């Protein structure tokens, strides 16, 4: 190969791997598996070693993690967050062990730990109190996400022991349990949003959210795995792990202290299959020399410690036959393709189906009828097809094309510009959408109607008792038909009708969420209710008026306008009004503490150390001020906290709106 070709290949690898790093660390949406990434990275490192003059200073071989998101305060790490060298084969581990023995002799121990598939975090404590939490970032500096991390129940805000030093840093991994991931991803799909690929991505996306209240709704967990102090408080890593566990930190119970490399390999073999029984994902095992003195003697390379290494499991993968592709229609009309497979054993379970996500995925895989496919279940909870074995493709096999019409009602599917998902627009006539919308309406987070369940709604629909949400409120007129159904006795009918009647007391925001408007989740419904006050104003609002409401974006606004542009939806709302549901918020009667802020308008944005946004809102209103939903030329003050959205700041600056802190607001009240 010519030198020019070598340089070209190296540049291409740098560009490709940097993009993969960005997808993984910043977007939390990887497009390549770890094994494939590590192979490419190793090949680039070999080329750089052989051709140092061509090495790019921005090469991913010289960096630890990803770029820094601009939405958070960037903090320098006191102790760099280095990555670990990793391997996929046992011989590399024996070579690692041999290098250790040559450097420090035979008298040492290893600590074996599970390698969690999550987001690395550095926690700083001062006088027992959590001072800050910072992501890995690029290894030398990361994003401060303290308020978000404080929502994780297993991470203490304050430790009560006096045994801990005044100042220390502790490293850990934030992750999401599989059950929580499946539940939350299902909610995303219900809203027509693209689901996250795996719990790691969901955890990463969550910890980077701007609103810590939203983070708190997504159950994250964390394990601690390393302690840093200015003075060595302990002789070895094993002692420190046990100590921080006593201090109240969450330390994995599966860690093991072992004597030699054979014990290490036995630990690795044990967890190769047992890992699938855990409630969270691991993608390997971390091996560390136990003694701190020996760690110091072994030292570091520019990128990683010489006293530690990680063994990574290859994602569980099998070959099977694609029998057919079917399609599921969700309550919002989103149509999801599913691969139906010849049953095959994978990672301890029999796999019959695999997700295909959307039309882009079918095209990327170039699927044909009866293809032999490779199915993977690594970090993915739901198995996915990673590639086709083209060599086994039958001659003349037909290419699979994404369907053009709804598989349930035959309506032509639509796909909006910039979106990956196709959906059926016939929400008033497509059976799974009708049933799904009513099931959503009665759910716990919406109207929370006792005595009704998903199966009951399906039964009612099949028997012509309900075709719309409003039909629930006429069920009391159909007692004879209800009694004729199996498993519907006098008591169960009475309970159900009582639950429906009680639902009329639910507040506007719950009714609004229950309507099932595309992209309007529980939080968005609250923002809209607070911003417009009643359904009539919402129905007549323009896109511009809606986007002026705090945290309502263009896509949500357009969806709302489209929803209320449908006369069938307006008819349903009128029927629900007649039934007695709440379609406006109850305004609180405020007794003023003073008239200091009368005539002044405020918008509150960002995160505050001493007060929540709701507390500041109450404080302003209690002193005569008024809270606006968005920034405009009529605004008197923007109360700005940390991590405020850059668009709000830019708009306020452009309109010359005074920007004040919470302290300055309190100062105004003191005067």
Residues 6+ apart with CB under 8 A from 652: 631, 635, 638, 659
Catalytic (active-site) positions:
115
CB under 8 A, 24+ apart: contacts of 126-129: 126/166, 126/167, 127/166, 127/167, 128/158, 128/159, 128/160, 128/161, 128/164, 129/157, 129/158
**Could you tell me if 410 and 315 are in contact, meaning their C-beta atoms sit under 8 angstroms apart?**
no
- The CATH architecture assigned to 601-670 reads 3-Layer(aba) Sandwich (3.40)
CA gap 228, 170 in Å, rounded: 6
CA gap 197, 387 in Å, rounded: 16
For domain 3-62, give the CATH number: 1.10.287.610
Indicate the average pLDDT of the chain. Answer: 88
Tens digit of each residue's pLDDT (9 = 90 or more) over 224-282? 999 999 888 899 999 999 999 999 999 999 999 999 999 999 999 999 989 888 989 89
Q: Nearest 5 degrees, angle CA 37-CA 337-CA 440?
A: 110
- Name the CATH topology of 315-424: OB fold (Dihydrolipoamide Acetyltransferase, E2P) (2.40.50)
Domain boundaries 74-312, CATH class: alpha beta
In this prediction, residue 186 carries a pLDDT of 78
Which H or E element spans position 355? strand 349-355
CA neighbor of 81 nearest in space, from 164, 154, 173: 173
Q: Is the pLDDT of residue 321 over 50?
A: yes
String of DSSP letters for 1-42: --HHHHHHHHHHHHHHHHHHHIIIIISS--SS-HHHHHHHHH
Domain boundaries, the chain: 3-62, 74-312, 315-424, 431-579, 601-670
Tens digit of each residue's pLDDT (9 = 90 or more) over 167-220? 999 999 999 988 888 888 877 776 667 777 778 888 888 898 877 777 877 889
Domain 431-579: CATH superfamily is: 5' to 3' exonuclease, C-terminal subdomain (1.10.150.20)
CA neighbor of 367 nearest in space, from 344, 342, 345, 386: 386
CA neighbor of 116 nearest in space, from 349, 386, 310: 310
Q: Nearest 5 degrees, angle CA 456-CA 458-CA 461?
A: 110
Paired tokens of 15: 């560009």
**Could you tell me if 161 and 203 are in contact, meaning their C-beta atoms sit under 8 angstroms apart?**
no
- What mean pLDDT is predicted for residues 426-448? 94
- What mean pLDDT is predicted for residues 316-327? 93
Are 3-62 and 315-424 in the same CATH fold? no
The answer, as to whether pTM is greater than 0.95, is no
Q: Is the pLDDT of residue 29 over 70?
A: no
């Amino acid at each position: 190969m010519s030198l020019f070709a070598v340089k070209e290949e190296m540049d291409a690898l740098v560009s490709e791997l940097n993009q993969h790093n960005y997808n993984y660390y910043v977007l939390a949406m990887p497009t390549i598996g770890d094994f494939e990434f590590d192979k490419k990275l190793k090949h680039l490192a070999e080329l750089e070693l052989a051709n140092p003059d061509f090495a790019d200073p921005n090469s991913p071989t010289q960096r630890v993690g990803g770029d820094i998101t601009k939405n958070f305060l960037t903090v320098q790490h006191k102790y760099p967050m280095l990555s670990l060298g990793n391997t996929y084969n046992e011989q590399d581990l024996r070579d690692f062990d041999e290098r250790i023995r040559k450097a420090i002799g035979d008298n040492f121990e290893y600590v074996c730990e599970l390698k969690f598939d999550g987001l690395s975090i550095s926690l700083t404590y001062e006088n027992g109190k959590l001072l800050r939490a910072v992501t890995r970032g690029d290894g030398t500096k990361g994003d401060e996400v303290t308020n978000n991390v404080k929502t994780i129940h297993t991470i203490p805000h304050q430790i009560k022991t006096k045994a801990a030093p005044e100042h220390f840093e502790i490293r850990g991994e934030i992750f999401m349990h599989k059950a929580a991931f499946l539940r939350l991803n299902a909610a995303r799909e219900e809203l027509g949003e693209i689901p996250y690929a795996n719990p790691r991505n969901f955890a990463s996306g969550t910890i980077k959210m701007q609103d810590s209240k939203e983070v708190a709704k997504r159950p994250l967990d964390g394990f601690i795995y390393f302690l840093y102090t200015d003075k060595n408080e302990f002789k070895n890593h094993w002692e420190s792990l046990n100590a921080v566990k006593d201090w109240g930190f969450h330390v994995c119970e599966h860690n093991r202290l072992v004597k030699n490399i054979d014990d290490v390999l036995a630990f690795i073999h044990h967890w190769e299959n047992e890992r699938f029984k855990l409630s969270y994902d691991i993608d390997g095992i971390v091996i560390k020399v136990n003694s701190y003195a020996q760690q110091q003697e072994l030292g570091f390379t520019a990128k990683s410690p010489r006293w530690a290494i990680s063994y990574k499991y290859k994602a569980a993968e099998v070959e099977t036959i694609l029998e057919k592709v079917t399609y599921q229609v969700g309550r919002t009309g989103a149509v999801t393709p599913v691969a139906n497979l010849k049953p095959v054993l994978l990672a301890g379970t029999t796999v019959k189906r695999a997700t295909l996500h959307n039309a882009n995925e079918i095209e990327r895989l170039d699927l044909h009828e009866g293809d032999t496919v490779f199915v993977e279940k690594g970090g993915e909870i739901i198995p996915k097809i990673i590639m086709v074995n083209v060599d086994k493709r039958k001659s003349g096999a037909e290419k699979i094309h994404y369907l053009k019409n709804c598989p349930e009602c035959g309506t032509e599917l639509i796909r909006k510009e910039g979106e990956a998902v196709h959906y059926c627009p016939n929400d008033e006539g497509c059976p799974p959408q009708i049933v799904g919308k009513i099931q959503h309406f009665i759910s716990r987070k919406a109207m929370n109607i006792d005595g009704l369940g998903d199966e009951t709604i399906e039964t009612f629909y099949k028997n012509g008792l309900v075709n719309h949400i409003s039909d629930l409120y006429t069920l009391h007129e159909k007692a004879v038909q209800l009694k004729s159904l199996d498993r519907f006795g006098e008591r169960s009918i009475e309970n159900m009708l009582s639950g429906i009647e009680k639902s009329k007391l639910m507040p506007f925001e719950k009714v609004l969420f229950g309507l099932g408007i595309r992209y309007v989740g529980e939080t968005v419904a609250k923002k809209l209710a607070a911003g417009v006050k009643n359904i009539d104003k919402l129905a007549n609002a323009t896109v511009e008026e809606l986007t002026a409401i705090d945290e309502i974006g263009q896509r949500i606004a357009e969806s709302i306008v489209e929803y209320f542009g449908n006369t069938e939806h307006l008819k349903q709302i009128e029927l629900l009004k007649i039934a007695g549901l709440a379609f406006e918020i109850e305004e609180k009667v405020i007794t003023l503490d003073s008239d200091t802020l009368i005539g002044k308008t405020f918008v509150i944005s960002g995160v505050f150390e001493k007060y929540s946004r709701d507390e500041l809102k109450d404080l302003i209103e209690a002193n005569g001020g008024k809270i606006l939903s968005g920034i405009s030329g009529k605004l008197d003050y923007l109360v700005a906290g940390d991590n405020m959205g850059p668009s709000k700041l830019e708009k306020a600056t452009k309109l010359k709106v005074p920007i004040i802190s919470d302290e300055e607001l309190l100062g105004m009240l003191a005067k």
